[in-house]
Each structure stands twice: as structure tokens, then as C-alpha cells.
Amino acid sequence: MFKKILIANRGEIALRIVRACREMSIRSVAVHSVVDADSLHVKFADEAICIGPAPAQESYLSTAAIISAAEVSGADAIHPGYGFLAENAAFAETCANCNIAFIGPPPALMRLLGDKISARLRMAESRVPILPGSGRLESATDAIARAERIGFPVMLKAAAGGGGRGMKIVNDAESLPASYELARAEALAGFGSGDLYAEKYLPSPRHIEVQMVADAYGQVVALSDRECSIQRRHQKILEEGPAAVLTDEARATLFSLCERACRDLGYQNVGTFEFLFDRGNFYFMEVNPRIQVEHTVTEMVTGLDLIREQILVAAGVPLSSPFARRPRPRGHAIEARIVAEDPETFAPSPGRISALHLPGGFGVRVDTHVYEGYAVPPDYDSLLAKLVVHAEDRPHAIARLRGALEEFVVEGIATNLALHRRIVRDADFCSGQLDTHFLERFAA
């Protein structure tokens, strides 16, 4: 087992990993930028090392700084969390070359799945349904020809994409060249690659994902499903599980698809398979080869610690007995992402938190790195906290979430708490009438 793990991340996920290390009697090393010196993950880790100034490129995205911190501290493993370097195959290879374990899938697998075009092709080989689409687009003219074969509307997507960047809906050939250039510029700026592909656009699908775990000995298990249809600009805002729309038969079919694909890939560690669900059909979108923000939903409905299992699998331990078979979900869980944003304009709202009260009670969990007096920096993702509730069924979970949101107080900065309070009282949300455009209709 590892003796010391360096956490190459910040915020709530870094603190979550610190806690898992403590429970496993593993020493933890927090890294932080200058502006994160007072964050809770820094305060509660066994050791802390400053790795640079505020810009992520000079700190949390600096391979040299993080590897140096690992070597200086004597860490024998690095946990990347999510975001930053979590899906960076070159970083994982550097870890291996420095004899430091990377807590995640093998680099070759990350590289394959990091290219959405290659991932689509591999899923098709494993008989996982994919939407009609193209290969790599060579030009706007090429994109028009392929889009006409696919049939409008289409979605242009970044091959190295994520987080909604480099994605454009195109309804006709006339508007495609301008959309192509915009998507290409976004992709190049965001991911260092302007490669695009086209995919058939579904106007009102649901977003369903499956939490997977696999060890180095061929054991692969689909743990649970989650619905993530409430999004803004392809960024998830509220997630829940199990997905109320799925029948037991549809769920079993989906889980079998994912388990077969994982075996075909030789997948290891945790990962999430994401799908669009439309008129009873599943269509593969992507694999996220890391822990997800919303892993807490799965933890609440299964009672299983995903961060702990990640560490064990990376250390070469076979899946522990609770993970070695599909668990039956226990009740329903919902996660609301609380972010430092204006609820109307969605503009970022950094600043100092002057007052904070976190909700509690039976079935309520809050994962956060902030506290009263904490200064939210403008340099990173605006996530402040994840409010997760668990109850015996969806209606009771919604009621519990309403109460918890009313108790949640953040003063000094703007947050999206008011937006969440409106969502959980919306008739369509309460009845489960969801799709990926729910928030657009809701805000209209």
C-alpha cells in the first residue's frame, strides 16, 4: 500500500482525498498556489507545498512543479482528482517514468479516450450504440459534405473536448462555416487542438451516465447510473441517481454494454461512461477516465467509498468484496452544485465569504473547502460546495433537498442557491420531465 499520496488538485475534491488518505493511514501531501494557501485541503493535509503563483498553468497544470513536489515530499503516488491534469496522459507517463504511481487508468488508455473520435470508434467495435457522425473534419467544406450525409441539425464537437467548449449546434449548410471557425478557435484555445468532428444533434435527449470500476485482474463492475440532464452550456448543475426514467430492463442492458466495453478496453480504476438517452435508445458520448464531481451520488446510493477504492486499485489490490458485484441501489440521491455565480447572469462572483452556514441533518452531506472568512479566488472553477441528499425515494430526496437549500447560507458573494431553490419546486423537475434543455426553458 502507498505510504504517502500527493494530491494534485485543490478545493473540495482535494479535501475529499485528504480524508480518504487519513482513514487509510496514508500520509497526504497538499499542493497549492499562492492564493490557495488558506484553503482547507492545505490546512488538513499532513504536509503542504506551494507550487507557484495563481495562474493554473504555473501551478496546478505545471507537471514540473507537481513532480518536483512529489519527489521532495517522498510521495509514492499522485491522485489527480478531476480537472487540471486528471486526464493528461503525458502527465501520467511522467509519473510512471519517475516511479510514482498515478491513481487513474493507464496512460495509453487515457490517450485513446481523450480523443473523442477514437473513443467513438472503439465503442462501435464493442457494439456500443453511437450517433451517426463523422471522422476528423478537414475543413468547413468537408464539414458541410459530411453534415449533409448525416442530416441536419448536427453538433460540431472538439475531438479533445470537454466542459462544453468547442461545441456548436448547426441547423443548415449556410451557417456551418461560421460555426466551424468558432468551434475550431474555442477548441484550439481550450485544448491545444482544433480538431473537430460532427455528430447528429438530438433536440431533447436526457443525459445518463454509468459509474464503472475495474481492477488489474479483469474484474469490471457497473456500480450505478446517474441522470445529469440539468445543465447550463453543457455544464452540469444538478445530478441524481438512480435515473428515474430507466426501467430495470433498460438499466441492465446499459450496464452490460458498459461492462463489455470496459473489458474490451482493458480498463482499470474508476471511470464514467456518458450517454444520451432518447426515445428509449442509448447513444454513447464519451468516457471520463477519472473520478467525477458527482461521484458522491453513487456513494450515497451504494454506500461505497469510490476514492478509497481508486487508491486500492491503483496499488494493485483486487476489487474489494462490496465492489466485486453490481450493488442494488439504496433509495435516491441528488447533488446540487453550489457555485460562486450570479443566479441571473451567471457571471463569476469571487470575493470574501462574510457568513456561512452549512445545512445538516439525516441524509444530508456537504463536500466543501470553504468557510466563513474564506476568500474565493477569481482564478479557478467557481464550485464552492456540493450539497448531496439521500432518502428512500425521489420525492423524499427532493423534499430533503428543499429543506437543506433553505438552511444553506452564503453571504458576501453571489451564489446559485436561489436558482436551485427554484428548480426543486418546479413541477417538471418534481415529476421527472427532464432533458438537456430543461434549464433553458426554466430560465425563459
Using CA atoms, how far apart are residues 260 and 345, in angstroms rounded to an integer?
Answer: 43
In 261-372, DSSP assigns E strands to 269-278, 281-288, 332-339, 351-352, 355-357, 364-368
Cβ atoms 5, 100 nearer than 8 A:
no
Instruction: Tell the burial category of 82 from Cβ atoms under 10 Å away from its Cβ (0-12, 13-18, 19+).
Output: middle
DSSP labels for 38-66? TSHHHHHSSEEEEEE-SSGGGTTT-HHHH
Using CA atoms, how far residue 233 sits from 44, 118, 416, in Å, is 34, 24, 15
Cell 446510493 locates to 301
Q: Identify any residues that bridge with 98 across adjacent strands, giving them in sequence order.
A: none
SS3 call for 182 = helix
Using CA atoms, how far apart are residues 414 and 401, in angstroms rounded to an integer?
Answer: 20
Provide the grid cell at 49: 507545498
Using CA atoms, how far apart are residues 203 and 390, in angstroms rounded to an integer?
Answer: 31
Cβ atoms 144, 137 nearer than 8 A:
no
Instruction: Tell the burial category of 427 from Cβ atoms under 10 Å away from its Cβ (0-12, 13-18, 19+).
Output: exposed
- Report cis status (omega within 30 of 0) of the bond before 242: yes
Catalytic residue among 146, 184, 206, 290: 290
97 CB-near residues (< 8 Å, 6+ apart): none
Q: Identify any residues that bridge with 158 across adjacent strands, giving them in sequence order.
A: 196
Active site residue 290: yes
SS3 call for 137 = coil
Radius of gyration of the chain (CA): 21
**Residues recognised as catalytic:** 290
